Amino acid sequence: MIPSRVRIKRNAVYNVVYQAEIEGNKHLEGLCVRITVPGERPVRQIILKKGMSRTQTELAFIHELIHAIEFEYEIAIPHALIYLLEAPIHKILKLNDWI
């Protein structure tokens, strides 16, 4: 089950939201957003496309979760590596009944 919020660090909570279309792109399955405006509380969201299968949604969530980790811990992770990691992480979570 995908949570409605995920805490990446003590002061970094991402809300998980669903949209029919993400940034006007019908093919985009997910997006991790962190917007910081000086003097305001940062906006942190993991946006997932509505209507995907359970597996597609879980994979997209894991993918965007890795991006959130990348942002919050200031780790540069090549996008190709994120794609390589999402399926094995998904399998581990499924094998252990965590999702």
How many whole angstroms separate alpha carbon 61 and alpha carbon 79?
15
The whole-angstrom separation of Cα 24 and Cα 40 is: 26
Name the residue ranges covered by the structural domains of the chain. 5-95
Tens of pLDDT, residues 17-66 = 999 999 999 999 999 999 988 999 889 999 999 999 999 999 999 999 99
What average pLDDT does the structure give for the chain?
96
pLDDT confidence tier of residue 1, bands split at 50, 70 and 90: confident
* Terminal-residue alpha carbon distance, the chain: 5
Amino acid, single-letter form, for residue 5: R
pLDDT band at 7 (very low <50, low <70, confident <90, very high): very high
According to DSSP, the residues that pair with 49 across neighbouring strands are: 19
One-letter amino acid at 44 equals R
pTM for the full predicted model: 0.93
* 83: Cβ contacts below 8 Å, ≥ 6 apart: 63
Provide the pLDDT for residue 50: 97
Q: What pLDDT does residue 60 have?
A: 98
